[in-house]
Amino acid sequence: MTPFLRKLYPYRHWAFLLPLLFFGLFYFYPLGAILQLGLAPDGRLQLSHILDFLSDGYFLSILWFTFWQAVVSTLLTVGLALPGAYIFARYQFWGKATMKAIMTLPFVLPTVVVANAFTALLGPRGLLNEAAQTWLGFSSAPITLERTIWMILLAHVFYNYSVALRMISGYWQNLNPDLVEAAQMLGASPWRAFWKVNWPLLRPAIFAATVLVFTFSFTSFGVVLILGGPGFSTLEVEIYRQAVNLFDLPIAAALSLLQILFTFVLMWFYTRSQAGLTRPLRLKSARATVRPIKTLFDRIMVGGNLGLMFILLASPLLALVSRSFLTDNRLTFQFYRQLTVNERGSIFFVPPGWAVFNSVAIALVTMVIAVGLGLISVYLIATDTAARTQHQNHRLWRIRGWLDPLFMLPIATSAVTLGFGYIIALNKPPLNLRQSLILVPIAHALVAIPFVIRAVLPALRRIDPKLREAATLLGADAPQVWRQIDWPLMRRAVLVGAVFAFTISMGEFGATVFIARPNMPTMPVAIFRFLGQPGELNYGQALAMSSLLMLVCAIGFIAIERFRLGDEGEF
């Protein structure tokens, strides 16, 4: 450690204030501003109108649909992701890193693009219906899933599959397989060995994935709005409708508050349960736990899951890309060429290259902010017993039990509400950031920090405290313990969290559309502009820009995955 850092080390505990200050300024302050405007516009609390709405059967039907579709979406997603997580954790096969990178693409895409990808594949004029009419002789479209619950459920699985697979496989691949082999040697069947040995060890990761998938499905907006149509409405869609279409801010604020409270209770219960279930484990190198494909069962297991992933994830993306090259069933590059043409002479026109640059630059800044604050937050949440005893009188340690669910709140908050809050609260001193370039990555980091925490927290909690104690007894100071013990055991998880932060920033749309400068759009904002204009040309340009977004993300993800599967993260 350098002399300068040694001087700063005694004040290291003040660093724990950074994530609290960040959330206070850029989450609770804007949210409080929009709630005050909605619930007390004249300085007095006005609840009669809100109570009448909440007691209406219309609201109860929205709440019930929001809940049950989220439950079904979560069960389908996690159930399908479990066998996929197993093959990525236990098998070595060609193209594994590339496959894992491509599977992340659905998660980075704005929900409006996900909805259009399914329309391009399964819509009345989608590729499958056109193929059925052309090659099988159907007089009308045989697949009629548009504006049905089945389309919503499929889109949710498509969107959230990579979240569940990454979280579960990342945890599973470092579990020692000797435990299962020992159980089988003692007479346990493969299924009983999994249920008695692997399942208890995997529960923290599965619970984490389940909660995140449920949260995303519960707060679903673009998928339900576009694919469901007016017949389906979640709380998030109703918040948007009340705030933007009806401009009824009191109702929108009340629904946002209800959504936040419900999710906070869920997150509190989950984080308390996870803290009790997670234990330090005997971990093993990821390379030592994988095996090549040898038997017929191995081929069926790997081939079947990769085929399922192709159907669920790749086919909508391929439909979207192919549609960007087709017009009147003819191959064309017109949509890509038109991206560089400013036909309307708009002063807000931005070439696609600049939109790509804006997105990547913002994503990199977001990643740095999210990983830095996320790591501090993780240590604030998951301090070992000795540290808690040493600092038991410090106020930070008294409230630490509430911090984990608190830091999860941004992913459950309406992007519409938060965007309005930024416009209202950050447009005047002391935080006059409305025109600042840093506001967009700040908003993105706010959503990305929970993912960094969820990726790193299990890895930190499962480090055996005896390793730190042994290093201390051998004369290592705290920075050396962190560098020699903690960092080698958690750097894989940190890199996974960084990937999530980057991908979330690349595809974030809800808050960006409110706060981004008109002359500095990100790729999702550019896509939204094209979709907001009528005509086949604008729709084709939206698909072309979506394809470019997927290409940029795929290149970055493949490079990161290849780095991650090298020496990084070896135990």
Rounded average pLDDT over 7-11 = 52
Q: If you compute the radius of gyration of the chain from its CA atoms, what whole number of angstroms results? A: 25
Rounded mean pLDDT, 146-169: 87
Residue 2: inside a domain:
no
Mean pLDDT in residue range 351-366 = 86
At residue 482, does pLDDT exceed 50?
yes
CA 353/CA 355 separation, integer angstroms:
5
Q: Among 157, 299, 161, 303, which Cα is nearest to 223's?
A: 157
Beta bridge partner(s), residue 92: 292
Q: Which two tokens stand for residue 289?
A: 């736990």
Cα separation, 363 vs 353, whole angstroms: 15
Residue 206 in any domain: the answer is: yes
* Mean pLDDT computed over 340-368: 79
Say if residue 494's pLDDT is above 50.
Answer: yes
Residue with the two structure tokens 């439909």: 319
Give residue 1's pLDDT band: very low, low, confident or very high (50, 70, 90). very low
Q: What pLDDT sits at residue 73?
A: 95
Model confidence at 366, pLDDT cuts 50, 70, 90, reads very high
- Residue 466 sits in a domain of what CATH number? 1.10.3720.10
Task: Specify the range with the lowest mean pLDDT, choosing from 51-55, 294-298, 377-381.
Answer: 51-55
Instruction: Encode burial over 440-474: b for 16+ CB neighbours within 10 A, e otherwise.
Output: bbbbbbbbbbbbbbbbbbbbbbbbeeeebeebeee
Give 511's contacts (C-beta < 8 A, 6+ positions apart): 415, 418, 419, 422, 443, 444, 447
Percent of the chain with pLDDT over 90: 10
Residue with more model confidence, 59 or 248: 59
**Do the beta carbons of residue 514 and residue 422 sit within 8 Å?**
yes
Q: What is the 3-state secondary structure (H, E, C) of 510-558?
A: CCHHHHCCCCCCCHHHHHHHHHCCCCHHHHHHHHHHHHHHHHHHHHHHH
The model's pTM is 0.77
pLDDT beyond 50 at 384 = no
Higher pLDDT, 169 or 3: 169
Tell whether the model's pLDDT for residue 79 goes beyond 90.
yes
Of the pLDDT bands very low, low, confident and very high (cuts 50, 70, 90), residue 346 is: low
Residue 194 has pLDDT above 80, yes or no: no
pLDDT at 78 over 50: yes
**331, part of any domain:** no
Quick check: 306 pLDDT over 50? Answer: yes
Strand partners, 330: 327
Amino acid identity, residue 122?
L
Range of the domain at 97: 15-41+62-325+337-564
Token code pair at residue 10? 């005694």
- Cα angle 485, 490, 493; round to 5: 175
Residue 55 lies in a domain: no
Strands 330-331, 427-428: pairing kind? unpaired
User: Tokens at residue 58, please?
Assistant: 């219309």
Confidence class for position 567, pLDDT limits 50, 70, 90: very low
pLDDT in the model for residue 4: 42
Greatest distance between any 2 Cα atoms in the chain: 80
Burial class, 164, CB count within 10 angstroms (exposed 0-12 / middle 13-18 / buried 19+): buried
With a CB cutoff of 8 Å and minimum separation 6, the contacts of 274 are 204, 207, 208, 458
**Is the per-residue pLDDT at 472 higher than 90?**
no
pLDDT of residue 399: 58
**CA dist 498 to 44, 370, 492, Å?**
44, 8, 10
Share of residues in the chain with pLDDT > 70 (%): 85
Structure tokens that stand for 438 in this block: 């840093």
pLDDT exceeds cutoff 60 at 526: yes
Q: Are 410 and 404 in contact (CB under 8 A)?
A: no
Q: Is residue 510 part of a domain?
A: yes
Residue among 238, 249, 259, 239 at smallest CA distance from 39: 249
DSSP per-residue letters across 347-375: TT---HHHHHHHHHHHHHHHHHHHHHHHH
Judge whether residue 360 has pLDDT over 50. Answer: yes
Helix, strand, coil shares, percent, the chain, to 5: 75, 0, 25
Q: What is the mean pLDDT of residues 394-409?
A: 67
Distance CA 77, CA 73 (A): 6
Residue 427 pairs with which residues in a beta bridge? 432
Confidence grade of residue 281 (pLDDT, cut at 50, 70, 90): low
Residue 89: pLDDT above 80?
A: yes
Q: Tell me what pLDDT residue 252 has.
A: 78
**Can you say how many angstroms the Cα of residue 503 is from the centroid of all Cα atoms in its chain?**
8
ω into 430 cis (within 30 of 0): yes
291 pairs with which residues across the strands? 91
Q: Which of 155-169, 241-255, 324-338 has the lowest mean pLDDT?
A: 241-255
* Residue linked to tokens 């209406």: 56
How much is the pLDDT for 569? 35
Whether pLDDT at 553 is above 80: no
- Structure confidence at residue 42 (pLDDT): 73
521 assigned to some structural domain: yes
Count structural domains, the chain.
1
Residue type, 87: I
pLDDT surpassing 80 at residue 224: yes
- Residues 202 and 211: their CA atoms lie apart, in Å, by 14
Please give the pLDDT value at position 76. 95
- Please choose, from the candidates 128, 105, 506, the residue with its C-alpha nearest in 3D space to the C-alpha of residue 313: 105
Handedness of CA 124, 312, 159, 336 (dihedral sign): negative
Instruction: Examine residue 153 and state whether it is found in any structural domain, yes or no.
Output: yes
What DSSP state is assigned to residue 439? H
- 43, HSE (Cβ side, Cα atoms, 13 Å): 0
> Domain for residue 50, yes or no?
no
